[in-house]
Structure formats: C-alpha cells, structure tokens
Amino acid sequence: MTTKEELAEQARPETPTTPPAEDTETVAEATGTTAPAPDAEPTGKSSAESDAEPAEPDAVPDAVSDEEPDEEPDEEPGAEPAGERRGGGRFTRAKVFGALAAMLVTAVAATAVLQWVAAGQAQDARAALESERALRLEVSGAASAFSRALLSYDYRDLQTTRSTLAAQATGDFLATYDTAFGGTMAQVIVKLKATSQATVREVYLADVDEATAHAIVVVDQQVNSSQAIRSVRDSHLKISLVKEKGSWKIHDVTALGAASEDQYSLDGDKDKKD
C-alpha cells in the first residue's frame, strides 16, 4: 500500500544532471566540434571590444525587412474612405434628383389643377354670359316687335293690328289701347284712309332679370293718308315687360315724345314740328 511519502516522492520533478566532462568531450568529438577550453587565453581583444564590434552590414537590412511590417499611411482625422465618399456622393445625388423629380411632379399637378379650375371658371363665366345675352335678346325682341306692331296699321284691317297687340300684351293694356285707338280714332283712320309703317331704330334695356324688364324703344314712323304724309323721327316709347308662361308680355307703354315731326300736305303745304 502506497503511503503519502511515496506519492510525494513520485510527484517531485526530477532534477536534470549535468553530464560529466568526459561525456562532454566525447559528444564534441562525435559531432566534430571542439568544446572551448575553460582557461583559454584571449587572442588580444577583450570581451568588451568584441561586444563593441559592429554586426555585419548585410544582416541588418534583412532583419529589418523581415521583422518590420509595412506601415500604412496615416489618414487624416475625420476623413472617410474613398469608397464611402463615392457611395455617399451617389446617394446624395440620388436624393437631389428624387427631390427635383418630386417637385416637378408636384408643380405639374398643381398647374394641371389650376388650369382645370380656371377652365371650369371660364366655362361657367361663358355660360353665364351666354344666358344673360339670350335673356336680353328675348326682351329686346319682344319690345321691338310690340313697338313696331303698335305704330303700324292699315285702315283696311285694323282688327289684325288689335289682335297682334293682344297676343303680345297682358294686363290692362288692351283696355288702354281700345281707349286710345278704338272708337273715334279708328273712325278717323278709316276716313283718311291712313296707313302707318314703323321702323325700330334702337332698343335700350334696363333692369332685366328672369321675370321683369324695362326698355326704351326708339322708333321712326311714317303715316300716309289721303290728305298728307306725316313723318315722325325718333319717337321714344317706355315699355314695361313681364314674363308669363315662358314668354315676354307687354305690361305698360308710355309715349315719351319724338325728336321731330314733318308733315307734307298733298296740296303743296308743309308743316314742321320740332
């Protein structure tokens, strides 16, 4: 049985033994080398001088070249590698081009929207103008036709004149017309065999809307009878119109007078009224 002392003895490392001098000489002779004599005299140079002798020049560069690695050039602080700079430049240009493209698309879209809005507004304005123009033409046509019918007549067919006016008028106008041109006036027209031809020169509109309107109509009139010829220039009629069932009707008429009147008697006399 192994005791603790034996285990400690086995674990202790062995101390290498120095071979005897004879063994050393034997080894030297076998290898062809001669061990230096312990008491050899120096050859005239001290050990210090031997240590001071320079090493062979050829060995230094080799050692330096073998041991010293190539040093990389120092880079400036904060400098980016060339590859990163190129990549960053491409990325920056891409962002700039993208921003410019987005701005261009936005500008084109905004221009298109503005043009569409402007076109819509222009179309609405044109439609409003056309509607107003059509309305004024309707009123002007009704006032002109009525004025021409009112001042044109033929003693041979006064009833036709009255029927035409009745179709164009409304309200109390027919009663007023019958008072002015019926009865005694109609008898005089027939007696003188008078005919009248009216020509509308101008129509001026005011206060026109969808239901009512007012107009001033300028008319020239020539009346021929068996005794004389009467010419009336620039006779002004003030007319009020209303819209009934889609048509403009004459509601009221007022004669404002004429600029001049000339009358030629068939027996050679001439009368002139200004």
**Taking 80 as the threshold, does the pLDDT of residue 52 lie above it?**
no
pLDDT in tens, 69-101: 555 545 555 555 555 555 556 668 777 778 888
pLDDT score of 125:
87
186 or 24, which is more confident: 186
Dist CA 237 CA 218 (whole Å): 7
Residue ranges covered by each domain of the chain = 127-265
Alpha-carbon separation of residue 106 from 93, 97, 101, 111, 132 (angstroms): 20, 14, 9, 8, 39
Dist CA 163 CA 32 (whole Å): 164
Query: With respect to CATH, is domain 127-265 assigned 3.10.450.50?
Result: yes
Of 4-18, 76-90, 244-258, which one has max mean pLDDT?
244-258
pLDDT in tens, 215-229: 999 999 999 999 999
pLDDT score of 234:
96
Contacts of 174 (CB under 8 A, 6+ apart): 162, 165, 166
pLDDT score of 260:
93
Residue 62 banded pLDDT, cuts 50, 70, 90: very low
pLDDT score of 120:
81
**Taking 50 as the threshold, does the pLDDT of residue 267 lie above it?**
yes
pLDDT score of 136:
94
Residue 238 banded pLDDT, cuts 50, 70, 90: very high
Of 34-48, 128-142, 174-188, 256-270, which one has max mean pLDDT?
128-142
pLDDT in tens, 140-195: 999 999 999 999 999 999 999 999 999 999 988 888 888 888 788 899 999 999 99
pLDDT score of 104:
82
Q: Phi and psi dihedrals of 190, rounded to 5?
A: -70, -40
Dist CA 42 CA 36 (whole Å): 12
∠ CA 251-219-191, nearest 5°, is 85
**Taking 60 as the threshold, does the pLDDT of residue 1 lie above it?**
no
| The two three-digit tokens of residue 16, written as one number | 């290498």
